[in-house]
A = this chain, B = another copy of it.
Amino acid sequence: MKKIENQQVCDFCIQQSDIFRHLTQEEFSEMSYNKSCNLYKRGDVVYHEGNRVNGIYCIGKGIVKHYKTGIDGKEQIVRFSKKGGIFGFRSILSEEVACTTTKVIEDASICFIPSEQFIYWLKHNSDFSMKMMKLSCKELGEANQYIIDIAQKSVRERLAEILLLLNDNFGTDAEGNLNISLTREEIAGLVGTATESVIRLLSEFKADNLIELDRRHIKLLNIKQLKRICDVF
């Protein structure tokens, strides 16, 4: 886990983030002073499930996955975070240990802000506090949706939904491929199924001309039909 001081990229992360838009100039300077910025490579772990987290993290560049480890070490991915996103706050605010492991899946530049600083802002800047409140409640709504999806939809439906969700969250590159590179196993951990099932269903989708596959590059060809597959509700 290589960590390099890199203040320049770090300022970028503040500008990107909705959460920090409402800081005053003074607060902004204080933040720059107190935070530290590190570079991470794919596979690096930011923190482990069950560990105490003593600050929040914001992303200037790259993508991380948040997952819980279950039976036989099988990963269940509950969320991603990308440029402009923050994470780690759940554990601090609920005063519990981390409920997920956070691992880098695309080389990233991530800032660390000590929890004292974070808590101080929450208490003294109500705009910031309301933004945080909104964020955590939004994530709660998404988690609730996830629960009913996994409980009631078929794997096929969930896979279609996940593909659309990745499309919305990460968009596409010049060739039209999803702007996130996941192994089949990671997709399985996201959908909540076995790796083999993901492979079979992706092949089916390809045969039906819904998607194009080239190794880890996935291109959505027929979004309307994919929506029809997952919108059973």
Which of B71, B140, B143 is the one whose CB lies under 8 Å from A232? B71
**Could you tell me if B76 and A141 are in contact, using CB atoms closer than 8 angstroms?**
no
Helix, strand, loop or mixed for chain A's interface?
A: helix
Interface residues on A, range: 35 or more
How many angstroms from the CA of A111 to the CA of B156 in the assembled complex? 43
- A207 is an interface residue with CB less than 8 A from chain B: no
Contacts of A119 in B (CB 8 A): 130
How many angstroms from the CA of A147 to the CA of B122 in the assembled complex? 29
The 10 nearest A-B residue pairs measured at CB: A151-B192, A143-B143, A94-B137, A93-B137, A70-B152, A76-B148, A123-B126, A94-B138, A68-B148, A90-B137
Contacts of A122 in B (CB 8 A): 126, 129-130, 133
Shortest A132–chain B CB gap in Å is 7
- A25 is an interface residue with CB less than 8 A from chain B: no
- A144 is an interface residue with CB less than 8 A from chain B: yes
Which of B71, B144, B145, B192 is the one whose CB lies under 8 Å from A233? B71
- A146 is an interface residue with CB less than 8 A from chain B: yes
**Could you tell me if A70 and B138 are in contact, using CB atoms closer than 8 angstroms?**
no
